[in-house]
Amino acid sequence: MKFSVLVAIVAEDLEEKAIKSAKAAGAGGITILNARGLGAEQKKTFFGLTYEGSQSVLILVLEKKLSLQVMKCLMRDLDLNHDSRGVVFTLPLEHIAGIDPSQIEQFEQIIKDNI
């Protein structure tokens, strides 16, 4: 079985919606990090204070086929194709350790159900 890491970087206000979408698409565990980013455009200022929006980084280890399914759901449910609302990408995993065997069984069942 091949695995991928799916990384979703979304505005903090979309975090809960992203988690629900990923879970509904078959994701198991999700690691969530708080972040802030620098864009290509200059930040907005208000009375000399710079506003830097907060982002959430969601990291998921998924079976390769499932990662594409989760990615599509996130793109659709969060409408990420508009207004720089976030970014989602996957990376291949060469080696992995520490995944609960029941999680692997769950991945296998989801794949069987989709065939």
- The model's pLDDT over 47-104, given as tens digits with 9 standing for 90+, comes to 666 556 789 999 999 988 899 999 999 999 999 887 677 899 999 988 877 777 777 7
CATH number at 3-38+49-114 = 3.30.70.120
Reported pTM: 0.78
Is residue 10 classed as helix, strand or coil in its secondary structure?
strand
Other C-beta atoms within 10 Å of 32: how many?
Answer: 13
Q: What is the pLDDT of residue 2?
A: 84
Other C-beta atoms within 10 Å of 89: how many?
Answer: 12
User: Which residue stretches of the chain are H helix?
Assistant: 15-24, 64-78, 101-114
Q: Which residue in 60, 43, 64 sits closest to 52, CA to CA?
A: 43
